Chain A
Amino acid sequence: GAVVSQHPSWVICKSGTSVKIECRSLDFQATTMFWYRQFPKQSLMLMATSNEGSKATYEQGVEKDKFLINHASLTLSTLTVTSAHPEDSSFYICSARDFLTVTNTEAFFGQGTRLTVV
């Protein structure tokens, strides 16, 4: 299957600082990337959909000024958590869709980033 690389795998930051998470598609071009947040024993909750070259579409209740998403190329999307607070601590996961596949429906996931805000 296609490979999606997410970096860093874990990060600890101080309250009030910003953290950037990168999501790269390594062996395919991804017109669309998705950012999820996962709480313990809970579903993956979609935060936003990122399309290359355009503004991200945020799900209801997700603060776009707090979670900045940039999808500058067909292989890279970034999520920046600005002015992080302890309640932002969570597991963040990205996924990417390979627009060249026939079905164009399968999505492949990164390894996830464990963010801890202290």
Chain B
Amino acid sequence: EDQVTQSPEALRLQEGESSSLNCSYTVSGLRGLFWYRQDPGKGPEFLFTLYSAGEEKEKERLKATLTKKESFLHITAPKPEDSATYLCAVQALYGGSQGNLIFGKGTKLSVKP
């Protein structure tokens, strides 16, 4: 069964304190792994798509990496405005969930000034 597990569930950082969020996945062939940011009461905002192991993408203070079993979202010198829930999702190549995104429960990040 295709599955996505994110850790930690919640993360509190001081402004400027770098850290990483983890997304572990099992999928019957990976078409793509997605990272989204979700603010309270809002829909997910697209951040990155990764397609193959070894791939990396960056956007401002965020950097996403991918291996065959997991992805990391690295946050460098975070600011309070980076506070949000970060969602990871995978899209499978095969099986019943083909084409659909399978989401993890997210990591709620709080950055204190």
Contacts and interface: CB of A to CB of B under 8 A. Distances in A.
B31 interface: yes
B41 A43 contact: no
B79 interface: no
A44 B49 contact: no
Interface size class of B (residues with CB under 8 A): 20 to 34
Contact of A109 (B31, B44, B51, B91): B44
Interface in A67-93: 91, 93
Do most interface residues of chain B lie in helix, strand or loop, or is the interface mixed?
A: strand
B110 to A, nearest CB: 14
Contacts, number: 56
14 contacts: A34-B101, A43-B4, A44-B89, A44-B101, A44-B103, A93-B43, A95-B43, A103-B32, A103-B51, A105-B91, A107-B34, A109-B45, A111-B43, A112-B42
Interface of A: 1, 4, 6, 32, 34, 41-44, 46, 49, 91, 93, 95, 103, 105-112, 114
- Those 3 A-B pairs whose CB atoms lie nearest each other, nearest first: A109-B43, A43-B103, A112-B43
